């Protein structure tokens, strides 16, 4: 597994043409832009965990049936400091680093003190966020890096704290139809309180105040939810939205702030300051977007760990939400590189298989309902919500499917009733070996897999004239451990799950985490995009074609005159 996880990946700075087999639908024009860890050693020093790796951005530009690939390391402050020192000098999730090993005892003590409130990393390796015409590489700290989505160049560092009082933020924001961003973050012991903050970033700054200013300046706090514990807030990786509500799971997988404050001094990583408390509850917070207040009923379920929300929607006075859940927090332990690179089959066995679970929460709890009665009357799910005393409701999910992660949906159905989950399929190990389409209505699934192939998160792009939810394609970057097979971009017909085309590239491709698709018509200037892609030296075409301007391919919002 060293090929997948151990080696530092080589950048592909200039776009390289792919060898396309099959036929790419002519309407599919745009760029798949993705992020993930690509470098795990610097000089003689080594990161401990796969999530520590330095962010490597890569993109597949699809134009007129041809595909061009490029990749570039995010030139974060973290990257630059490491490269300059020729060793790891900035701490990441699973690795605590020390900038100056030869300091004397006094400056060491001073350095320890200044690290009790740590300045986190800007190694933004998890996802790409779009905000109007701006694109950002994101992680879960208070930093993001703006990037050029065409050249993959790294632009300015953004500190969320300048706009909203948070120390951590998710890398999985939501978008409304106008492209406004809704995200969540945690504010740790600020003015004596620890809270979860839901905030909105407008896609564009208000007209009068625009003048080239970033929409981030107009970030607005939407709602704050006090943490159940001041010194051990919940860790969360994503959240759910419906048309009128936000779903937030305050799970008993928690950060220990006192441990974090002493981690640097004790020489332990941030990861060691997180713990799963299996004896505790998972609190389900439902926030009404119209009143900007949490629904007062105290909904809860058993202890679980959720990284990815799939979707949520309203049905007959209930909130239905689907998540990928685990019985424990062992997933993060499996990504220690020592486990991935040695005795992979033994060390990387999932002790808890990720399952698709459906929850149903009643929005109005009948005061006269009997204690112990099930408040869910929906015929579409067997999920229950049992009334208890004192405004408490105990929710139990319906198990829909076992063995899936990295879920994606047709995003035009986000927050609304939907039918299909596209996901990576996992069995005994957390590394996906297949791609799945799960139908929540018929409870049936379709699978794509190939020997020696390791697929990334499957991303759905709707066809321009889509009538049905699955009219479109699935894009997934596939890394191969078969020496005879190059890595490739796989394009599946989302309806039948059959292969339409693949674009193989002779590059050192990394396993990535998350990303997005930018339709050609959404580029701020399509001329510029066209000029960025050079002629493929291997092809005898007359150079890059001008984009036809296929409109509105998949993003649920328009940016038109940006």
308 annotated as ligand-binding? yes
Taking the alpha carbons at both ends of the chain, their separation in whole angstroms is 44
Contact 422, 387 (CB under 8 A): no
Complex with ligand RET: residue 264 or 359, whichever CB lies closer: 264
Strands 274-276 and 514-519: unpaired
Measured distance CA(321)–CA(300) in Å, rounded: 13
Cβ 331 to ligand RET, closest distance in Å? 8
Cβ 89 to ligand RET, closest distance in Å? 14
Cβ 522 to ligand RET, closest distance in Å? 26
What the block records as the tokens of 54 is 């330095």
Complex with ligand RET: residue 69 or 93, whichever CB lies closer: 93
Complex with ligand RET: residue 129 or 393, whichever CB lies closer: 129
Short-list 89, 68, 71, CA closest to 79: 89
What the block records as the tokens of 319 is 């909130």
* Cα dist from 476 to 10, 60, 448, 516, whole Å: 20, 10, 11, 11
Contact 261, 231 (CB under 8 A): no
Complex with ligand RET: residue 336 or 523, whichever CB lies closer: 336
Task: Tell me 175's DSSP state.
Answer: E
Measured distance CA(27)–CA(550) in Å, rounded: 6
172 annotated as ligand-binding? yes
Task: Tell me 36's DSSP state.
Answer: E
* Cα dist from 559 to 204, 216, 518, whole Å: 9, 16, 11
What the block records as the tokens of 47 is 């990161």
Burial class (CB in 10 A: 0-12, 13-18, 19+), 392: middle
Strands 298-301 and 392-396: parallel
Cβ 456 to ligand RET, closest distance in Å? 12
**Cβ within 8 Å of residue 502, ≥6 positions away:** 20, 21, 22, 478, 488, 489, 490, 491
Complex with ligand RET: residue 71 or 127, whichever CB lies closer: 127
Short-list 268, 275, 277, 330, CA closest to 91: 268
Cβ 94 to ligand RET, closest distance in Å? 9
Complex with ligand RET: residue 306 or 446, whichever CB lies closer: 306
Host H or E run for residue 516: strand 514-519
DSSP 236-304: -S--EE-SSEEEEEE-SEEE-HHHHHHHHHHT--SGGGEEE-TTS-EEEEEEETTTTEE-SSEEEE-S-
Beta bridge partners of 405: 424
Chain residues binding ligand RET by CB under 6 A are: 51, 92-93, 120-121, 126, 139-141, 168, 237, 270, 307, 513
Cβ 254 to ligand RET, closest distance in Å? 11
Measured distance CA(22)–CA(62) in Å, rounded: 14
* Cα dist from 274 to 90, 232, 235, whole Å: 19, 9, 8
174 annotated as ligand-binding? no
Cβ 261 to ligand RET, closest distance in Å? 12
283 annotated as ligand-binding? no
Complex with ligand RET: residue 261 or 369, whichever CB lies closer: 261
Cβ 362 to ligand RET, closest distance in Å? 30
How far from the centroid of its chain's Cα atoms is residue 204's Cα? 23
Complex with ligand RET: residue 47 or 488, whichever CB lies closer: 47
Complex with ligand RET: residue 270 or 555, whichever CB lies closer: 270
Complex with ligand RET: residue 138 or 289, whichever CB lies closer: 138
Cβ 141 to ligand RET, closest distance in Å? 5
Measured distance CA(157)–CA(144) in Å, rounded: 6
Cβ 332 to ligand RET, closest distance in Å? 7
Complex with ligand RET: residue 139 or 521, whichever CB lies closer: 139
Cβ 140 to ligand RET, closest distance in Å? 4
Complex with ligand RET: residue 52 or 469, whichever CB lies closer: 52
Cβ 125 to ligand RET, closest distance in Å? 7
* Cα dist from 295 to 9, 169, 235, 345, 363, whole Å: 47, 23, 21, 45, 8
Q: Binding site residues, as ranges?
A: 172, 237, 308, 514
Q: Binding site residues for Fe cation, as ranges?
A: 172, 237, 308, 514
């Amino acid at each position: 597994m060293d090929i997948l996880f151990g080696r530092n990946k080589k950048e592909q700075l200039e776009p390289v043409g792919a060898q396309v087999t099959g036929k790419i639908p002519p309407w599919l024009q745009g760029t798949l832009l993705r992020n993930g860890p690509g470098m795990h050693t610097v000089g003689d020093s080594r990161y401990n965990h796969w999530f520590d790796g330095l962010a490597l951005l890569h993109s597949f530009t699809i134009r007129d049936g041809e595909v061009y690939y490029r990749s570039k390391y995010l030139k974060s402050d973290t990257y630059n400091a490491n490269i300059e020192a020729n060793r790891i000098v900035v701490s990441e999730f699973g690795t605590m680093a020390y900038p100056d090993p030869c300091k004397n005892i006094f400056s060491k003590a001073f350095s320890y003190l200044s690290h009790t409130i740590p300045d986190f990393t800007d190694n933004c390796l998890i996802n790409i966020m779009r905000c109007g015409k701006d694109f950002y590489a994101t992680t879960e700290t208070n930093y993001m890096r703006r990037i050029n989505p065409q050249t993959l160049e790294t632009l300015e560092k953004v500190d969320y704290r300048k706009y909203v009082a948070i120390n951590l933020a998710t890398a999985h924001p939501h978008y409304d139809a106008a492209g406004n961003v809704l995200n969540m973050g945690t504010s740790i012991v600020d003015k004596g309180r620890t809270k979860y903050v839901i905030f909105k970033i407008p896609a564009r700054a208000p007209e009068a105040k625009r003048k080239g200013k970033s929409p981030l300046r107009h970030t607005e706090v939407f709602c704050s939810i006090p943490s159940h514990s001041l010194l051990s807030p919940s860790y969360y990786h994503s959240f759910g939205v419906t048309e009128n509500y936000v779903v937030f799971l305050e799970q008993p997988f928690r950060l220990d702030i006192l441990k974090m404050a002493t981690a640097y001094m004790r020489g332990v990583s941030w990861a060691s300051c997180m713990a799963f408390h299996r004896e505790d509850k998972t609190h389900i917070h439902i926030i009404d977007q119209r009143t900007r207040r949490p629904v007062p009923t105290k909904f809860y379920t058993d202890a679980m760990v959720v990284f990815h929300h799939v979707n949520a929607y309203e049905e007959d006075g209930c909130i239905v939400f689907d998540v990928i859940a685990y019985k424990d927090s062992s997933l993060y332990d499996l990504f220690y590189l020592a486990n991935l690179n040695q005795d992979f089959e033994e060390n990387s066995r999932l002790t808890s298989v990720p399952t698709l679970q459906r929850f149903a929460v009643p929005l109005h709890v009948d005061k006269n309902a009997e204690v112990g009665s099930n408040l869910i009357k929906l015929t579409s799910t067997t999920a229950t919500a049992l009334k208890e005393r004192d405004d408490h409701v105990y929710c139990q999910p319906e198990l829909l499917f076992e063995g899936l992660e990295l879920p994606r949906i047709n995003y035009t159905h986000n927050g609304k009733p939907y039918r299909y989950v596209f996901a990576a399929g996992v069995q005994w190990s957390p590394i996906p070996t297949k791609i799945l389409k799960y139908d929540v209505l018929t409870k049936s699934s379709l699978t794509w897999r190939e020997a020696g192939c390791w697929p990334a998160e499957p991303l759905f792009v709707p066809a321009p004239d889509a009538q049905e939810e699955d009219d479109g394609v699935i894009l997934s970057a596939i890394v191969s451990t078969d020496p005879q097979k190059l890595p490739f971009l796989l394009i599946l017909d989302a309806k039948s799950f059959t292969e339409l085309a693949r674009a193989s590239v002779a590059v050192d491709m990394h396993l990535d985490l998350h990303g997005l698709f930018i339709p050609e018509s959404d580029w701020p200037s399509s001329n510029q995009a066209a000029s960025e892609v050079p002629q493929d030296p291997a092809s005898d075409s007359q150079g890059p074609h001008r984009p036809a301007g296929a409109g509105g391919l998949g993003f649920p919002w328009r940016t038109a005159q940006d």
